[in-house]
Structure 1
């Protein structure tokens, strides 16, 4: 029932994120990068998984990550390790988003949603940098309400 995945976290430290499993494993996807990307309407998402994702219940096991100090409630969403390394190679300054703890929700999450293409991730990076630059309890409160 639990899904574990390596993610890039605070100061570039790799950790295991925990979530409820919402997708079937796919044996026909050979590329590790493609396996880590969830597309809109992805056929691997189960019926129950669709509900868990829509209600955000699939994120609850990440409370373990928060208690362990690997994540916070609010911050840039952590990316799968393979995707994070890909984005670091493609986008200048991408690694600077790791100067704060990743969060269950964040400014990019509430403004842009889920993205995977490099061009969209560049826009997401701008939201992450805005959050880092303007870090405040008021911005966190706004993110909580928008979440």
Structure 2
């Protein structure tokens, strides 16, 4: 997918995007300097518990539809066959250490590197696996005009997404028909009405939640 999301009207102005990027750079550099030891401990614990590499990497779709490799601490056992990208509460693939990492959000810390590199932002739509971004049509492609985020309004709205999916008879269908379209709506509203103070609020809510 190579179409330029900028072809869709709306979104952040150049000055807003530059200010957002400057904030991301400063905070990501500070965050990595303060948390590198914690990432190291998490990597060691995840490696021992999963008996696989402590880092989990996956291809995601970013700004302008470009793919990048997202980095997280491993929270699930490696499976020999490709599985679903949908994770439910109580998923047997989640390791004991993984449950702690997910609950404390420590598994997200390596994404500070993605922010520093420019793949991601602190706040924005979560980066989708290839396939979902292809479904965006018309004004929905405005989502590709910004860098995907570690957190954001849709992420916070569906903070209990795994528990919600665990209650569904067909989690993938419910995600595709209910949750994903609602996330698109929430993220479009975020981009069209972007304010720096809202980014600060979303970051704070993510940390204290």
* TM-score (ref. length: structure 1): 0.86
* Alignment RMSD: 1.8
Over 3 Å counting, the alpha-carbon distance change for 1:134 and 1:16 in structure 2 is same
Partner of 1:109: 155
Partner of 1:79: 128
User: What SS does structure 1 have at the residue aligned with 2:89?
Assistant: coil
Partner of 2:144: 98
Partner of 1:140: 199
Give the gaps of 5 or more residues in structure 1: none
Q: Following the alignment from structure 1 to structure 2, what is the Cα–Cα distance between the partners of residues 110 and 24?
A: 26
Normalized per residue, which structure has more strand? 1
Partner of 2:63: 10
* TM-score (ref. length: structure 2): 0.62
Q: What's the CA shift for 1:40? A: 2.3
Give the gaps of 5 or more residues in structure 2: 1-53, 163-171
Structure 1 stretches of 4+ with a deviation exceeding 4 A read: none
Normalized per residue, which structure has more helix? 2
User: What SS does structure 2 have at the residue aligned with 1:81?
Assistant: coil
1:90-111 per-position Cα deviation (integer Å, ceiling 9, x unaligned): x544433111111110110111
Conservation of the 8 A alpha-carbon contact between 1:12 and 1:95: no
